[in-house]
Chains A and B, each alone.
Chain A
Amino acid sequence: MTYIGTSLPISSGTPKASGSLAYTGDMKLDRMLHAKLLLSPHPHAKIKSIDTAKAAAVPGVIAIFSHENTPATYYNSALWIAEQDFVPDERLFSPVVRFVGDRVAAVVAADEATAEHAAALIEVDYEELPAVFDIEEAFAARNVSRDPETLPIYENPISDMTVEYGNTDEAFARAHLVVEDRVKTPKTHHCAIENHVCLAVAERDGSITVHTPCQSVFAVKFIVAKALSLPDDRIRVIKAPTGGSFGGKSEPVLEPLCAFFSRVTKRPVMLQLDRYGSIVSTRTRNAAVGRVKTAFDKDGKILARDIQAIGDAGAYRSGGNMVVGAMARRLGRLYKIGNQRFRGWSVYTNTPIGGAYRGYGSSQIHAITEINLEHAARRLGMDPVELRLKNLVEPFDDDPAGGPSVGNARIIECVKEGAEAFDWKNKRNRPRGDGRRKRGVGMSCATHGNGHFGAYPENAAATLSLRDDGGLHLVSPLHDLGCGTVTIMRQIVAEAVGASPEMVAVPEADTGTCAFDPGSRASRVTYIVGECAQEASLMLKAKILEVAALAFNSSPDDLTLKDNQIRSNYGGDRRMSLRELAGFARQRSPEDISVTHHFKPRANPGSYAACFVEVEVDTLTGLTRVMDVLAVHDIGQPINLTLAEGQVHGGIHMGIGYALLEDLDIDPDTGQTKGNSLSRYQVLNAPEMPRVQVLFVESKETTGPYGGKALGEVATVPMAPAIVNAVNHALGTELTELPLTPERVVAGLVEQDELDQA
């Protein structure tokens, strides 16, 4: 293969490096206005009155919006297919605010400073209502309608699901050992460096164009249409360059607002959140609490597992229930477990809203289950790697929970290769130290999906055309979030057609020109859209060769298309460039050199990873340093090696944050987000990033493009549990509440000391 597996530099590298690439917030349109939001200071309150007189009097203020003058239509921002029937509970502005950071009003003005200044002058009279912040407290307040006057009824739990197979109770009864844990994972912020932003333009013909760094232009279109009660065809959504998303920009949060503002003011409106707004007022990772019980036989074989998990949807439903569902879908795909029961709930709390976030349920469920396995290994007297090897799935195993086959699952290789490369046995058996600083090693396995097949409708569409200049043009709604999707597609098309990547143009998604696609979610893009693009490319290549056959006066089978050129397999000097072919076709052939291909997958294999980590814990300050990381991934064939490694590096960074640093940290008395700025919500910085080695096991998943599988989400999933396991190994503790802040580590050590002395 010429391009697959190489390190072609990212397509947009030069404009990004030179600063010339215009992100949404850099766009400047004629007569553009700026909107700023007023956010709620209360966790739950009725808005009794809003006085905008002072704000309206500020010169430069064009309009002020609140629940009083915006549509009362409810929607659910997690929707991505128009017909999806998710319970709608969000509107542009609500008369009842449900969390600190909820939207109260907006000022649209000539410039940002004026809008901000005026927003602060809006006077709101609130009647405070009781609020709940803690997941388990919210769960206990079941089926209590806390605000019967508003629709829909605001009651808990939002969802209640059970997945069960085999005979769990019977298996527990005969177990040699049962290990039980309660694990808590935090509400976290995506922390893309680009804050949330949207630009909406009311066009002269009455339609609205929305520019947004989103993950699904069609989701934006459907939600905007719904919220504004407009027909679909009056809205066009264009994907703008994204300054990072990680799921945070997956749900249309700002777009319905911005579109409405533009429609009313009849001018382009830019809505850019500041960091506070991005942290509290967009979406977060669902916090979770999980209780897991695992039954083992005396050899460490898992006989059964019973999990109860509650996900924190936050103040609005969004896809809270779907995240819990996603947690359940992993359960039969990593280890061979004959009997399993999962009971999962999603609850409302008066806290920032949970939504899509890289990992989507996998991060939470793997934290719960992989930490439990470390503790089990300890009690069984087994090495954690040995325990994994005894139980991991093998290639083409079925999913006993009813999901699709796991496909070419190479997790066993990941663990074996990783353990060897990491020198696991020696490091694990090394003395941890009697002094202040203790070292430990931990590991974790993880799996994540490849698209929606098996859970939701899944399809992709691509139109690939040969241009007159000999280049190739791929139209498929792509949403490059910075990970290099566009580059990957260029490589796949180039490889399949026989062109070079720089001849392949891959514009990003635009509802004006693309057929429907669910967008960048569920780790579907490389695996499904890539496969669709590969198939389309092969079809286009066949068409090209058919036309070329006319020019060469031979059969298409006698021709080769490579490096943008067609030649005969039987030698001879004759070459025809794609450009020449395009010209030839224009004149001679009735065929349009273009294909439109619809692809429906019939598989959803697992992507797999194992992470090995060494940490050093300062038992006095409680600070944990991650010293060394080895990540081994089974993603079939990496399409672009540098981009793939980059995903793993970034995923590791995020996993370290999840394990040690990051937490919105809701104040239990006020419901305020304590981690509401980057000085308080700290992510890993350059001095603290550990050494990392990334390995990809050699294998191919035949259902994916060139054997490739998804990487973007699984890249982060195993990291946090591996770190927690390493810390617990170092200290001999069983800490299970993430993040392992210095305070929690110290509290754990103090408790351990007291127990030792007792």
Chain B
Amino acid sequence: MTLARDIASPASLKELSHLISNRDGRILFVCGATDFIIDLKIGHLSKPDLAVDISRLPELSFIESDTDCFRIGAATSFTRILQDAVLGRHFNCLVKAVEVIGSVQIRNRGTIGGNIATASPCGDTLPVLWCLDAEVSILGKDGQLRKAPIDEVILGDRQTCLGNGDLITEVKIPKLNNGSHLSAFQKVGRRGVMTISKLNLCAVVKYDESSNRIDAARVAAGSIGGIPLRLTSAEQILERRRVDRELIRDFVDHLPVMIDQAIPGRISRPYKRHAIKGLGEDVMHDLFAEKTGLQREDAVPA
């Protein structure tokens, strides 16, 4: 099947803007193509009049560290994100999410901008971007640049605020204070590796090591509804508390309640309300095991 009525591969943003500014018809941008090609085949996307390949644009593939934020080009591949050690030190949750997306082949091509534009409920970077207060820059068909917070970009299951010809150019993530912030991400699928998320969980906490206290928390779960779910009451359980076994138990025991509230009629609810406890435990362990010395409660001898 032909995937588009017409296709172009501009070599610069300027060329791209020029190309699309006067174009009629539906425009879709393609970069890693790992969702694009499949979505067209199965009908999640309908055939565009013009497909614009943005994989050759140097302006869209970068990772830059500014004073108070990181900026990641929309066409930056997952592999490239994983290779940036500085980025990784700041945002462990982002690294952990990207590490478990697909296979090496998929990560070499898939991009953060693509993950946002596809807006799949199972998109693994999305709950992370939610917790990190990411901001998305969008270049309009008319050449105007605008910015929007991530929760105003992703509106539902495969629904975004992007209009025809709107191109995501970069994602800005405010820096966390490295000394005081910890983050984690876990997912569960059908099998251990190379699997679509049935459920995922991200947590970012501001943690005072000297007093062993969580000052602030952001927690979001994905693959539950159309958009990541901020678990505000779970955040409240964590905030202003010391990290100990009781806290972990309170947090973990609360998660099923959130699932019950979020997807009361869903067939997958009995499973997800149970499995989220596992993710919750794993996230807490990833956040605090090193800092507090708290080990898992498993009593299985080696």
Query: Which A residues contact B (CB, under 8 angstroms)?
Result: 113, 116-117, 120, 430-439, 616, 618, 620-623, 625, 661, 679, 682, 684-685, 687-688, 741-743, 746-747, 749-750
Given A620-B277, A620-B281, are A688 and B193 neighbors across the interface (CB < 8 Å)?
yes
Q: How far is the CB of B295 from chain A (nearest CB, A)?
A: 11
Is B82 in contact with chain A by the CB < 8 A criterion? no
Residue of A whose beta carbon sits closest to that of B190? A682
Is B296 in contact with chain A by the CB < 8 A criterion? yes
The count of chain B contact residues (Cβ–Cβ below 8 Å) is 26
Q: How far is the CB of B237 from chain A (nearest CB, A)?
A: 18
Best-buried of A435, A625, A742 by chain B (most CB within 10 Å): A742
Best-buried of B198, B279, B300 by chain A (most CB within 10 Å): B300
Q: How far is the CB of B254 from chain A (nearest CB, A)?
A: 15
| Inter-chain contact A437/B1, CB cutoff 8 Å | no
Contacts of A621 in B (CB 8 A): 188, 275, 278-279
Q: How far is the CA of A82 from the CA of B151 in the complex (A)?
A: 66
| Inter-chain contact B274/A436, CB cutoff 8 Å | no
Is B65 in contact with chain A by the CB < 8 A criterion? no
Q: How far is the CA of A335 from the CA of B274 in the complex (A)?
A: 41
| Inter-chain contact B193/A742, CB cutoff 8 Å | no
Q: How far is the CA of A742 from the CA of B192 in the complex (A)?
A: 11
| Inter-chain contact A679/B196, CB cutoff 8 Å | yes
| Inter-chain contact A439/B191, CB cutoff 8 Å | no
Contacts of A750 in B (CB 8 A): 270, 274
Is B85 in contact with chain A by the CB < 8 A criterion? no
Residue of B whose beta carbon sits closest to that of A432? B300
| Inter-chain contact A747/B270, CB cutoff 8 Å | yes
Q: Which of A432, A618, A685 contacts B193 (CB 8 A)?
A: A685
Q: How far is the CA of A113 from the CA of B300 in the complex (A)?
A: 56
Q: How far is the CB of B158 from chain A (nearest CB, A)?
A: 16
Given A435-B299, A436-B297, A742-B275, are A661 and B190 neighbors across the interface (CB < 8 Å)?
yes
Contacts of A435 in B (CB 8 A): 296-300
Residue of B whose beta carbon sits closest to that of A436? B298
Question: How many residue pairs between the two chains, A and B, have CB atoms under 8 Å in the bound complex?
Answer: 82
Q: How far is the CA of A501 from the CA of B274 in the complex (A)?
A: 58
Given A433-B300, A620-B278, are A687 and B195 neighbors across the interface (CB < 8 Å)?
no
Q: How far is the CB of B285 from chain A (nearest CB, A)?
A: 11
Q: How far is the CA of A436 from the CA of B282 in the complex (A)?
A: 11
Q: How far is the CB of B146 from chain A (nearest CB, A)?
A: 34
Contacts of A618 in B (CB 8 A): 278
Q: How far is the CB of A438 from chain B (nearest CB, A)?
A: 7
Is B179 in contact with chain A by the CB < 8 A criterion? no
| Inter-chain contact B191/A436, CB cutoff 8 Å | no
Write the B161-199 contact mask toward A (1 if CB under 8 angstroms, else 0).
000000000000000000000000000101111111010
Q: Which of A437, A685, A747 contacts B191 (CB 8 A)?
A: A685
Is B265 in contact with chain A by the CB < 8 A criterion? no
Contacts of B279 in A (CB 8 A): 621
Residue of B whose beta carbon sits closest to that of A625? B192
Residue of A whose beta carbon sits closest to that of B276? A620
Q: Which of A430, A684, A687, A746 contacts B274 (CB 8 A)?
A: A746
| Inter-chain contact A622/B300, CB cutoff 8 Å | no
Best-buried of B278, B296, B297 by chain A (most CB within 10 Å): B278
Contacts of B298 in A (CB 8 A): 433, 435-437
Contacts of B274 in A (CB 8 A): 620, 622, 746, 749-750
| Inter-chain contact A687/B193, CB cutoff 8 Å | yes
- Residues 270-297 of B at the A interface (beta carbon under 8 Å): 270-271, 274-275, 277-279, 281, 296-297
Contacts of A687 in B (CB 8 A): 192-194
Q: How far is the CB of A56 from chain B (nearest CB, A)?
A: 18
Known: A436-B297, A682-B190, A688-B191. 5 other contacts (CB 8 A): A434-B299, A436-B278, A436-B281, A621-B188, A746-B274
| Inter-chain contact B191/A622, CB cutoff 8 Å | no
| Inter-chain contact B281/A746, CB cutoff 8 Å | no
Q: How far is the CA of A747 from the CA of B196 in the complex (A)?
A: 21
Q: How far is the CA of A746 from the CA of B198 in the complex (A)?
A: 14
Q: How far is the CA of A399 from the CA of B299 in the complex (A)?
A: 47
| Inter-chain contact A436/B192, CB cutoff 8 Å | no
Q: Which of B2, B190, B271 contacts A747 (CB 8 A)?
A: B271
